[in-house]
Each structure stands twice: as C-alpha cells, then as structure tokens.
Copies of this chain bind each other. A is one copy, B any other.
C-alpha cells in the first residue's frame, strides 16, 4: 500500500471511516454500482460519486466497465484495485506451516502448504517461525513493502484485539503481535485458528449472504466458530466457541483440558484415534492394524482419513459413530442458535459423506423440526485450506477494522 493510500485510511483522516465502510462493502459484495453503494452506505449518489473518484485517483479502486442491465443507461461497476495492497496469511499446523498471499481483491496468488516447521512453544520456535515467513516474503512475487498486514492463526486462547496469545508464544511482556512485527518488519495481527477458518468459509466458501453461521472444526480437537449478524462472535474475553469441552459423557477418558466427559473425548480426531487403537488392540482388523502395531503415535488423522476413503470398514464404523455423537450435540446447537447455516469443517470433514450423513441423521432426530427446518448443514468447501484462506482474509479485514 503506497503511503498516500495508507494515509487516506488512517484514523483521524477526513472521511476515513466512510472510505473503510465502502471497502468493507466491496469486500463482502464484490464490484458494485454507485446506486448500490449509495443505498448500502445510506449516502446520496453525488457523495458516493465524489468518494469513488477520490479513491480511484488514489489507486484504491478501479472502474470495471459497465454492468449489463435490461433497460436504461448502464451503470459503471467499481471495485477494489487488486494491486493496491497485498496480505499474508499464516496457518500453523501440527507438523508444518501453510503460507498464502492474496491481493487486495482477495485472490489467492500464491500458497505454500506444509512448509516443514516443528511448532515449539519457545522464543526459538517463534524465531524460526518468523524466519519461515521472511523466506516466503523474500521469494514471493510481490515486493516486501507492498505487504500491508500478516495474520497468524494460533490454536487456543487468543485475544485479537490486544494482540496477546495465551496458549502459544506467551513470552515477555509485550503483545505477541508487536514481537512478531519486530522480527519480520511487517505489520502482524493474530487470531484463533477456528475463527479464521470460520471467516474463510464465510467470505470464500460458496456461502454468500448468510448472516448467522456456525462452523464446526473437527480436527484433532473440536472447536466452534460463531458468526452472528455477519460478525465473528468472540464473547466477553475472546474465548467463545469452546464446543469441545461441553460436558456430555460419563466416560473415564481424561480430556487434555483436565476434565472428564468432554464431548471432545468422544467426537474429534483424537477420539477416532483412541477408538481405533483400542479396537485394533482388541483384535479387530483394519488396513491400519500394522501401523498401529508399530507406532500408534505415528498414525496421523491424515492416515486415518486415507483409510476411510479406501473404504476400511473399521475406520468407517468409527467415523460414523463419532459423527452421530457429534450430530446429536450439533442438534442442541441448532436449537440454541437457530442458524441459517452449519458448516462441518476441519481435517476430519475430509471424510465427506461418511461423517456428514450420520451428523444429518442425528440432527433430524434430535433437534426441533421447526427450528432445523431453515438450517442448511453442509461440508466445508475450502477443506484443508480453510485456515489459510481465513488467515489471508483476516489479514485484509483487520486493516479496515477499528
């Protein structure tokens, strides 16, 4: 972002708020006409015209030809200038890190999945993460000074407002965002990984125009992202969505949160892994029997998903069992939230209908018909890139939030 553009959006700058509202509208609704903007922002046509002219001058917006209409003069279309700014998304996984670059328009220009990186909760671990980021920036197609913001997804407790992370890299006194900015020379924001996935699906997952959305992140653990009236809901302290630790069962499995009976102990990737290990140990057959025999800890969720998609019966049975238990709890969520859309995402959702159908069955059976009638339940469309794309989208959005 050139200096002139940045200045025109700085807090205090005349008309900055309106300009940001206009950008936010264009992000959400795509290229628009003056009339549409005038109605959406509740401003007169001349005012919008004037603002658009200014922003075209600054290089923030572009004209994109005329719209095809049936009658009358055709209106011009205006939209974000893709080259006005670039943003970076960073998605940290158990055994690697995903990096992505988008332009101002939100198009994913480059992505680099599974860059080797061993997450380690120390200053060294943070330094090597920043090194990975710096290498990506140095080798990407865009100059460093054109990258306006970097958003990093972290698991666990994250306060995006203050920039503090409590579960990861909670080192020293200053917010993690400040430390990372110093290490990379780039502006950095952070957010929770499930929230980022939710935001990615909201903006890029074929789910346009839905305002009340639940996103269920079924990976090693179990998380929930909540979008209410088009905005991410974080709760009072930023910890909303701890779905995995809902007290449901009377089992004796100790959850990593320290309690017993958490939903996560029966409905998550870790639950699938444990159940598989138990049943293979009890003598049941599976194409993963050998792998579990050699090194149970070495079997990843990806391995299990692969086995499911190769139609291993034991794996499918366990996925169905877990899906039904999860669906029953999602039924409760639907009763509570009466959402427009429920998206099933996370690693385990890559088993597709094997997971989705039992969930749908359980929802039909256990939630009130009048409530779930208006709720669509679908699979994530971004699958394993939801977190990365969400990180990129957040990197952009955060630049225009106050």
Contact = CB atoms under 8 A, between A and B. Distances in A.
Interface of A: 157, 166, 211-212, 224, 226, 228, 233-243, 245-248, 257, 259, 261, 328, 331-333, 335-340, 365-368, 370-371, 373-375
Given A237-B373, A242-B335, A247-B331, 17 more contacts: A157-B370, A212-B235, A226-B336, A235-B338, A235-B339, A236-B338, A236-B339, A237-B374, A239-B368, A240-B337, A240-B338, A242-B338, A242-B371, A245-B367, A246-B336, A247-B366, A259-B366
A234 B228 CA distance: 10
Contact of A336 (B157, B224, B338): B224
Q: Main SS of the interface on chain A? A: loop
A375 B236 contact: yes
Contact of A371 (B226, B237, B370): B237
B370 A239 contact: yes
B234 A338 contact: yes
Copies of this chain, whole number? 2
Contact of A243 (B236, B336, B366): B336
A236 B370 CA distance: 12
A84 B239 CA distance: 44
Nearest to A259: B366
Contacts of A247: 328, 331-332, 366-367
Contacts of A248: 248, 332
A245 B335 contact: yes
Given A247-B366, A259-B366, A368-B257, A338 B228 contact: no
Nearest to A157: B370
A328 B247 CA distance: 7
A48 B246 CA distance: 48
A233 to B, nearest CB: 7
A370 B170 CA distance: 15
Interface centre among A211, A237, A331 (most CB of B within 10 A): A237
Contact of A340 (B236, B257, B374): B236
A335 B339 CA distance: 18
